[in-house]
Amino acid sequence: MSRGFGVAAGLDPEVARPLAARCAELGYASIWSNDHPGAKGLETLAEFAAAVPGIDLGVAVIALDRTPPEQIAADLARLGLDPARLWLGVGAGFSERPLTRMRESLPELRGKLPGVRLVLAAMGPRMCALAGAEFDGAFFNWMTPEFAARARQQVESGAREAGRETPPVCGYVRTAVGEDAAARLAKEESFYRDLHDGYRSHFARLGEPEGTVGVAVADRDAAQKALAAQTALDTIVVRGLASANIDAMGGLASSAAPR
C-alpha cells in the first residue's frame, strides 16, 4: 500500500510548489489534483512537477464529456508533463450512457496518450469490472473501507474474466484533522451527494449518514488509524480538506503522511 496526497485544482503556485516538496519529504509516493470546470488539474500537476522532479503525478478525474482525449493530449504537450510519471484518471461526467462512453473512449485515449497510465473512475459494479478488465487502474471515490472492499472484488472479477492481473486500485479518502474536522468533511460531502444521478445513486448504495464518509479526526494518531483501515486500496490518496495555504495543507499532509 502506498499513499498519495490530493488537492483541488487551481491551487496557487506559491502553495502548490512547496506543498509538493513537503509531500516528497514526508514519504508520499504521489501527489494528485482533481479537475473541475474552474481549473485544469493538469496545470496544477505542472506546478508539482516543477517543484519535485521524481514524484508520481495523478489527476482524478478528468470528465470526458467536458475534456475530450484530443484536448487532454494538447494540454499534456503544452505543459510538458512526462507521460511516464502520470496517472490519468478519467470519468464519464454527465454522459447519458457512462459505461458505454468509457468503453468506447478507451481506444482513442490509448492512441492519443501513449505511455500514460489510464485509471477509470469507478463506483458501480459494472464500471469497477470494466476498470479491472481494460484499464491500467481503478479510482474509487467516496467509499467506506467496507464498500471499497466489495468494489475491489468487482475490479478483481473483471480482471479475472479478462485473463489479466488486477490493476492497481487507487482512491480518494477525504481527510480533515483538527477541531473543525467534522464540519469540513460534512461541507465537502454535501456538495457531492447531490451533484448528479451517479453520485446520488452511489450515496444511496452506501447508506451512510451524511458527513461520515471519510476521515474527520482530532489528531495525527486518529488519522493514521482511520487511514490504515482502507485496506482495499493499493494507493490511498489523502484528499486534504484544509485551507489552501501552505501551513494548513502542509500540516494536514504531515498528520496523514505514511509512517
128-157 pLDDT per residue, tens: 999 999 999 999 999 999 999 999 999 999
How many structural domains are present in the chain? 1
For all residues of the chain together, what is the average pLDDT?
A: 97
What are the C-alpha distances in Å from 125 to residues 94, 198, 220? Answer: 18, 12, 34
- Split at pLDDT 50, 70, 90, the class of 243 is very high
Q: Can you tell me the distance from the alpha carbon of 117 to that of 138, in angstroms, rounded to the nearest whole number?
A: 11
- The answer, yes or no, to whether residue 192 has pLDDT greater than 90, is yes
Cell of 59: 489527476
Cell of 185: 468533511
Query: What 8-state DSSP symbol labels residue 65?
Result: T
- Split at pLDDT 50, 70, 90, the class of 125 is very high
Q: Which helix (H) or strand (E) segment is 150 a member of?
A: helix 145-162
- The answer, yes or no, to whether residue 196 has pLDDT greater than 90, is no
Per the structure, the complete domain to which residue 146 belongs is given by 2-255
Across 69-73, 193-197, 238-242, least confident range: 193-197
CATH code, domain carrying 235: 3.20.20.30
Question: pLDDT value at position 191?
Answer: 94
What pTM did the predictor assign?
A: 0.97
The answer to whether 29 touches 2, Cβ cutoff 8 Å, is: yes
